[in-house]
Structure 1
Amino acid sequence: MTHLQSLRDIGQSLWLDNITREILDDGTLQSYIDEYDITGLTSNPTIFDQAIGGSSAYDAGIREKAAAGKRDAGLFVELALEDLRRAADMFRPVFDATGGVDGWVSMELSPLLAADTAGSIEAAKRIHAQAERENLFVKIPGTPEGIPAIEESIFAGVPINVTLLFSTEQYMAAAEAYLRGIERRIEAGLGPVVGSVASLFISRWDKGSADQLPEELHNRLGIAVGQQAYRAYRELLASERWKKLAAAGAQPQRLLWASTGTKDPKAPDTLYIEALAAPDTINTMPEKTLRAFADHGKVRGAMAEDGGDYAATLEKITAAGVDIDALAAQLQREGAEAFVKSWNQLMQRIADKAQSLAGG
């Protein structure tokens, strides 16, 4: 028994925000499933860049695929899907037991497609088909160009993890895209069940606003935005529009808390896990945060469905000079740019490794 049980008792799913070949090979991921009841995981270009750069576990695969003529993005996608298929199979029992509500893994599109709606739609179909796993999400950013790609992908039956959401407005745009995709499927006589989650990034709010705020308001903005988004999520699930889709057999797009590792060394290492304990949500945690909460985390009750005191907090932060809407757009833009940087580093790392391994 660990402190994580209190989160599960509230009704929250716990996912891992990491994947490496080493944690697959050495049994670490299986231990998280067995001991911590982890029921899914997420990945992104930064995670894979660190995994491939920090280990020799991928060398044999890079050498073999490069020798077969694979390179760049094509080589990487094959490497990543090898890991994600293994993880998806490990989570398949919970996927089946929950009727597809839980038990997912996620693969990010190339961030170079973030502004390419048509390219994102095509790549999402291709990656999901190549993965050959029902319980694999394709991650599409909830940028203005990504929103129509999300709707079209849902309509096409491709499960989508909407990433890089920061504000309630951005979340609602993603939720609307999901609803439209499902409504169009029903109108076309297609099945109403297509998996989706909407990933709201939390800790970057506090890192991005710290320089503008007095110390007593540090590390409060991300939680307040999460509370606001949770209120919108509960209101959507209570709406007549959603009830009509649910009656037709659709499953809700679940709200997922992302970026929940504490970045401020002065703040508790379990800050965001404790604050974001909420039914019918997912918290995807870095390994360090997962272990910290298992050791000493505490849940002081579930998040209020009406968002609690978020409005008062946002009012204080606005009065202190933070333009919350502008910061939301900035954080989404910077998040997309950071993934492009990681992607380019990853492509260079793979090319360098392929060359050195061929020489060896």
Structure 2
Amino acid sequence: MATNHLLEIKEYGQSIWMDNLTRDLVQSGELKNLVENQGICGITSNPAIFEKAIAGNAIYDADIEAGIRAGLPTYKIYESLVFKDIRDACDILRPVYDASGGLDGYVSIEVPPTIAHDTQATINEARRYYQEIGRDNVMIKIPGTDAGLPAVEQVISEGINVNVTLLFSVQSYIETAWAYIRGLEKRAAEGKDISKISSVASFFLSRIDSNIDGKIDDALKAGVDRIEKEAKLRAVKGKVAIANAKIAYQEYKKIIQSDRWQALAAKGANVQRLLWASTSTKDPNYSDVMYVDELIGPETVNTLPPNTIDACADHCDVANRVESNVEEAYKLIENLKDPDVAIDIDQVMDELLVEGIDKFIKPFESLMQSLEEKVAKLSPV
């Protein structure tokens, strides 16, 4: 029987979650099979995933009609559909949550992307989602924006599990880690248990390479006057995201060695694991599992879309690599400043965050629009 490399990865201390959730997946028994036999131990979702799942899928019609009969507005109908899928997925993953002592078995749901820059609205929605979904193993996704991080700190202090999403820069990850720590410190100072709270920091990958590779391709097309310059540009292609992630992991190690973290760990706190997100390879010239193979390592999570799960199960090359070639990673990021390369990584990260929020807002609004149309169509005349 062929080796399932997803199960091998677990032996290196990395958890594989799936970046996908649909009602079909739940009702067909496929999710249960993935969890029980394929090593999947968590689910991440986002507005783009729900748009694909719900728009044009008749499986949701009966519940939409029930919402219409109850006189619910479209937004509440949307929530009734999504919350049901999240609860059902949480129930399927509950044995993983129990067996792992609350390390895994989580299902993530994002607060509305339209409030990414509103701290109080994010806090309010995170509380409401957590209460209404009513599952210990739900994780509320909050963007790691300037407005999002104070919300992360507050809801962690209230005992709500958080997946901090849309992290691109190493600095944004560091700020996220300290927001988590401050939230735990606040809760501990109130004499409350901190051992049941879990968090991940979702650090995005392929979008970084897509952005930087595009800039390099533009420079090469415009014409390069020296072979050395061309070589420097080509040396960076497809390498920045993994290098950036390896540096973030080094920062993670420093943070968990700090006195402040150690004091929390002594009270039973769980580490906030780095979660590698945006892991499907966009460029067909690259390995379809490069964002898995290169970042396997302890106390991490990798969330994979279904195609990457299949590819990895088939041909991932499993080894602990998250700390290999770390010096080269630092050099590569430093080389972006070379006048021959001239890529401003801070600017790239800022662009990606703005783009990332937009990539969640647009499908969210599109889903609301298609739900409005479906409500109109299914409503009794």
> In 2 relative to 1, CA 44–232 (structure 1 residues): closer, same or farther, beyond 3 Å?
same
What amino acid maps onto 2:356 in structure 1?
Answer: G
> In the alignment, what sits opposite 2:378?
357
1:185-196 equivalences under 5 Å are 185-193=187-195, 194-196=197-199
Aligned counterpart in structure 1 of residue 212 of structure 2, from 206, 209, 212: 209
* Contact residue 169 and residue 244 of structure 2 kept, 8 A: yes
Distance in 2 (alpha carbons) for counterparts of 1:295 and 1:169: 35
* Contact residue 258 and residue 285 of structure 1 kept, 8 A: yes
* Contact residue 42 and residue 284 of structure 1 kept, 8 A: yes
| Structure 1: gaps spanning 5 or more residues | none
Distance in 2 (alpha carbons) for counterparts of 1:329 and 1:157: 30
Structure 1 position 32, deviation (Å): 1.1
> In 2 relative to 1, CA 243–321 (structure 1 residues): closer, same or farther, beyond 3 Å?
same
**Per-residue CA distance 1:265-289 (angstroms, 9 max, x = gap):** 1111111010111111000000000
Distance in 2 (alpha carbons) for counterparts of 1:288 and 1:190: 42
> In the alignment, what sits opposite 1:166?
168
**Per-residue CA distance 1:36-68 (angstroms, 9 max, x = gap):** 110010000000001111421111111111221
* Mapped pair 1:303 → 2:322: yes
**Per-residue CA distance 1:235-271 (angstroms, 9 max, x = gap):** 1112221111100111111111110010111111111
Structure 1 position 77, deviation (Å): 1.4
* Contact residue 261 and residue 272 of structure 1 kept, 8 A: yes
> In 2 relative to 1, CA 306–327 (structure 1 residues): closer, same or farther, beyond 3 Å?
same
Aligned counterpart in structure 2 of residue 70 of structure 1, from 46, 54, 72: 72
Distance in 1 (alpha carbons) for counterparts of 2:131 and 2:324: 38
> In the alignment, what sits opposite 1:5?
7
Distance in 2 (alpha carbons) for counterparts of 1:61 and 1:115: 31
| TM-score, length-scaled by structure 1 | 0.97
* Contact residue 295 and residue 320 of structure 2 kept, 8 A: no
Report which of the two structures shows the higher radius of gyration computed on alpha carbons: 2
Structure 1 position 82, deviation (Å): 0.4
> In 2 relative to 1, CA 89–308 (structure 1 residues): closer, same or farther, beyond 3 Å?
farther
Distance in 1 (alpha carbons) for counterparts of 2:199 and 2:345: 27
Structure 1 position 13, deviation (Å): 0.2
Structure 1 position 79, deviation (Å): 0.7
> In the alignment, what sits opposite 1:338?
359
| TM-score, length-scaled by structure 2 | 0.91
Distance in 2 (alpha carbons) for counterparts of 1:81 and 1:306: 42
* Contact residue 97 and residue 103 of structure 2 kept, 8 A: yes
> In the alignment, what sits opposite 1:134?
136
Structure 1 position 230, deviation (Å): 0.6
What amino acid maps onto 1:96 in structure 2?
Answer: D
Runs of at least 4 residues off by over 6 Å: none
> Alignment length, in residue pairs?
360
> In 2 relative to 1, CA 307–74 (structure 1 residues): closer, same or farther, beyond 3 Å?
farther
1:110-259 equivalences under 5 Å are 110-193=112-195, 194-213=197-216, 214-259=233-278
1:15-54 equivalences under 5 Å are 15-54=17-56
Which of 40-49 and 64-73 deviates more?
64-73
Identity across the alignment (%)? 40
> In 2 relative to 1, CA 131–121 (structure 1 residues): closer, same or farther, beyond 3 Å?
same
| Structure 2: gaps spanning 5 or more residues | 217-232
RMSD: 1.4
Aligned counterpart in structure 2 of residue 293 of structure 1, from 297, 306, 312: 312
Tell me the secondary structure at the aligned position of residue 57 of structure 1.
helix
What amino acid maps onto 2:208 in structure 1?
Answer: W
* Contact residue 10 and residue 302 of structure 1 kept, 8 A: no
